[in-house]
Amino acid sequence: MEKDLTRGEPIRKILWFMVPIFIGNLFQQFYNFADTMIVGRLLGVSELAAVGATGSLMFVVLGFTQGCGAGFSIILSQHFGSKNEKKVKESFAVSILLSLFIAVVVTVISFLSIRPLLTFMQTPPEIMELSYQYLSVIYLGSIAPFAFNLLSNMLRALGDSRTPLYFLIVASILNVFLDWFLIQIIPMGVRGAAIATVIAQVIAAMGCAWFIKYRFPLLQIRKKDFKMEQQEVRRQLALGIPMGFQYSIIGLGQVALQYSLNQLGTAAVAAFTAAGKIEFFSSMPVQALGTALATFAGQNLGAKKIERIRYAFKRLLFISLVIAIVMGAINWLFGAELIGLFVNRSENEVIDLGIQVLQVNGLSYWLLSILFICRFTLQGLGQSLIPTVSGVMELISRFVAAFLLSGQFGFFGLTLANPLAWLLAAVPLSVACFLTFRQLKSVEVGSLSVE
């Protein structure tokens, strides 16, 4: 059930709240790993590269919907922190209607754009059709992850981080089985892997919806709650849409990288794909801390307990830096073994290139930890402008790496994209956090803009 994060020792509260989020992220990556590992080992390098070549395009679309849902849930967490049950229900109802509209529009536009985008990115001819098969299924089923992420975020906004985890575990196990079944038993190729992912996400979304309807009274809404009050709609759109664009902007930077990467051949694409999975795994602990901190900040902002937010921010920033150093060292020491999880040991070129990516990223994870903690804190406080600006900085840096550094240094130039992006994004976020906490010493919630 719901959990009040406005009382009790802050760090202990956040860490207990963060554990299910981390485990959930772990299982989410687990079934992403399953797609990649099963495709790479059962189908081959071309199929692995095809799935990898679609990753940035997937993130542009799915990231937008994920960002919107996260933004909507922050508004709900603020209502919960202020102990306004009526506003909680109305906020949830508004978020459902907005999400349905956004999901339909995004699905139609993205599906119709697949081939033009793959062509624009100069996807290698040998993986063009495979990439289309995979991406078309993912886009058509994009409402499933949208629904699951929205409902999960709403539950977390009220302090329940365990329920989404339970349904995600079930979905992850189902995804692995369906991957094997739709590739090995029913030979559907990369399309089968995509179908398995969509089905698993549908199951997770249905599970969350069932739980909310029958076990979570605070989110049980009726017709009278669907008021679409102008102020509530504006608040949600003012935070949700910028957060959605922020995720998409990051994805567009990945599209630029993929454009240059595709010109280097299948081995380079496969190496970046495998290394990218390791990067996601390495960043999960800090990302989970940031997600928990956003909910904590939202609830305590609603309760006007600013000092608790400041206290938690300082200590979690230190914890995240320690985690980043440890994960970076693991990437350096075990790079070959980690890349070898995704390709056969005989693929020497892919492994060597993947090690380069892991080593460069590993030296820069401390920047990523600063980025995550500052960005999630600002978002929890209802700030959308600076996090969006930081996303634009990431986009610019990845374009620089894709079109300038790659021309000078080849594959190594592309490995510099993430460290450069993290640096340029972390600077404005750090400054914004410092200034925001200074301004919040005596500010009232009602006077704090969400822009």
Range with the poorest average pLDDT among 3-12, 97-106, 341-350: 341-350
- Give this prediction's pTM: 0.79
Q: What is the pLDDT of residues 136-159, one digit of tens each?
A: 999 999 899 889 989 998 998 888
DSSP letter at 208 equals H
Does 29 have pLDDT greater than 80?
no
- Of 384, 106, 80, give the one whose Cα is nearest residue 236: 384
Q: How confident is the model at residue 255 (pLDDT cuts 50, 70, 90)?
A: confident
- pLDDT value at residue 65: 84
**Which residues, 6+ apart, have CB-to-CB distance to 264 below 8 Å?**
410, 411, 414
The stretch 350-378 carries a mean pLDDT of 92
Q: How confident is the model at residue 448 (pLDDT cuts 50, 70, 90)?
A: very low
E strand spans, 273-341: none
Q: Tokens representing 55?
A: 């990753």
- pLDDT value at residue 372: 94
Is the CB of residue 164 less than 8 Å from the CB of residue 24?
Answer: yes
Instruction: Using the structure block, give the residue that is written with the tokens 């590993």.
Output: 362
- Determine the Cα–Cα distance for residues 271 and 166; give it in Å rounded to an integer: 32
